[in-house]
Structure formats: C-alpha cells, structure tokens
A and B are shown apart, each in its own frame.
Chain A
Amino acid sequence: MKDEILEEVAKVIIPLIQVFGVYVIFHGHLSPGGGFAGGTIIGASFILYRIVYGKEKASMKFSYKRLMKIVSFGLLAYGTMKGYSFVSGGSHLNWPSPPLGTPGKILSGGFLLPLNIVVGAVVGITMYFFYSLFDEGEI
C-alpha cells in the first residue's frame, strides 16, 4: 500500500515495538515473558514492515538466505548448549558452566539468558516466514 501517513507512523512505531520485544526476551528469567512471547512481538514488527512497505523492499532487507542462516546457526547453538548441560549433568562430570549469580540480577541463572535469546530469534523469524508463506504461496 502506498499511504504517506502509514509510512511515517510506521517509521516511528516499528523500532519501539522491537525495543519492547528485546526487553521481554532479556528479562525472561525475572518477569513474565521469555523467548516465545518476545519472539512473537519481534515477528509482529517484521510483518508490519512487510505490510506497510510492500514485498520488494521487505525481501531486500529480510532475504531468505540470511534468515535461514540465522535460524540454522541458532538451532545449532541451542543444541550444543543443551547437549553440554545434559551430558555434564547426567554423567556426573564437573565441567565448567556459566555462573548462577544472585537471583534478581540480569546476569544470573546460568544458561537461561543465551537460550532465551536464541529462542526469541528463531520464533520471530518463523512468524515472518509463515506470514510470507500465506501471502505469496512460497517463501
């Protein structure tokens, strides 16, 4: 759609939505939210960009190759971190792990913070893929 008011308002609102989404992801272990909820918010901001600015500009900024690379490396990192934690716990080995810290601070809880970030990225990109799939028929 080619509407001037919509474009100008979207230029201001989309960064605010993304900042809120990043806050929900990063505070996942201290307040309600976490990876899934924050990822959905960021995915909604991508979909809004695609609706307002049209298909060509959106596929220049969010190309299929770059998004697939982020998803694949994200899943690889998730699997490796989880595997490290499971194997070191199950076999009673004492390998080093991120510190637990004090509850209530942002850098606490061991592996929780990196896992939330990965899950947020993957969920956001998946939401955007589903919208473009229903809109076009192909990604």
Chain B
Amino acid sequence: MEKLLTNYYETGAIILFGIGFMTLLLNNNLIKKIIGMNIMDTAVFLFFIAKGYIQGKEAPIISGNFKGMEGYINPIPTSLMLTGIVVAVSTTAFALALTVKIYEKYGTVELDKILNKGE
C-alpha cells in the first residue's frame, strides 16, 4: 500500500483513467462521451510523462551553461507524448464534427433516442 502512496502521480493517473473509462461507457449524451474519451487520453499522458521524472534534476532546456548529461530529467517520454496530444486533439475535432452532423440529421444528441429512431 505504501508503494501506491509514494508514486502518487501514477496512482492519480490510473484513478483518472478509470473515471474517464466509466464516463465513456455509461453516459448517454454524445458530448459527455467525447469528454470521457479526452479524460482517458489525458490520464495516459500523465502516467507516461511522470515516468520520466528523476528526483533533484531540472527540465531539459539549456539556459546558461550546459550541465552535462546528469543534470536533466529523461526527455524521451515528453517528446513522445507531444505526438500523442496532437493525435488526441485531431480525434476530438473529428468526433465533434460528426456529432454536429448527427444533430442535423436526427435532431437529438442522446444515444438511446438515436438508436431507437434508427432501426
């Protein structure tokens, strides 16, 4: 149990992932589903970036003189997640555009009413 409390970033990320997952599955409104998807993706980014932190070192930007390799934290997770954030933004934008089109054709944004009207 104390391992969960010392790595509090990772614990917080997993709790946030669970919240986003439940919002995505259990809510009826399409906009809330998209919000849940965003929360889930953000939780994964937090988990990944928190793995790169080394205690006592600083951010990898050269201001002043170069401190050698041991003065900075691990920069690889941060740069990978930059790509992930761009992907999440474009998927959210595409999903919102589809929601606008669904609203024009069906007149409602609630998922159970859409499923009943369709078939």
Q: Which residues of A contact B (CB under 8 A)?
A: 31-32, 36, 130, 133-134, 137
Q: Are B61 and A134 in contact (CB under 8 A)?
A: no
Given contacts A130-B93, A134-B97, 10 further A-B contacts (CB under 8 A): A31-B61, A32-B61, A36-B82, A36-B86, A130-B97, A133-B97, A134-B96, A134-B100, A137-B100, A137-B104
Q: Which residue of B lies closest to A127 (CB)?
A: B93
- A residues within 8 A CB of B82? 36
Residues of B at the A interface (CB closer than 8 Å) are: 61, 82, 86, 93, 96-97, 100, 104
Q: How many contacting A-B pairs (Cβ < 8 A)?
A: 12
Distance between Cα atoms of A130 and B82 in the complex (Å) = 20
**Chain B at the A interface: SS class:** helix
**Closest beta carbon of chain B to A71's beta carbon, Å:** 14
A125 → B minimal CB distance (Å): 14
Chain A, interface SS category: helix
- Shortest C-beta distance, A120 to chain B (Å), equals 13
Give the residues in chain A near B61, CB-CB below 8 Å.
Answer: 31-32
Complex Cα distance, B62 from A65, in Å, reads 42
**Given the complex of chains A and B, what is the CA–CA distance between A137 and B97 in angstroms?**
9
Residues of A within 8 A of B93 (CB): 130
CA distance A133 to B101 in the complex (A): 11
Residue of A nearest to B61 (CB): A32
Point out the residues of chain B lying under 8 angstroms from A36, CB to CB. Answer: 82, 86
B75 to chain A, nearest CB (A): 12
Chain B residues with Cβ below 8 Å from A134 are 96-97, 100
The winner among B61, B82, B93, B96 for most chain A CB atoms within 10 A is B93
Residues in A whose Cβ lies below 8 Å from that of B96: 134
In whole angstroms, how far apart are the Cα atoms of A134 and B94 in the complex? 11
Report Cα–Cα, A120/B76, bound state, in Å. Answer: 22
**Which residues of B sit under 8 angstroms from A137, Cβ to Cβ?**
100, 104
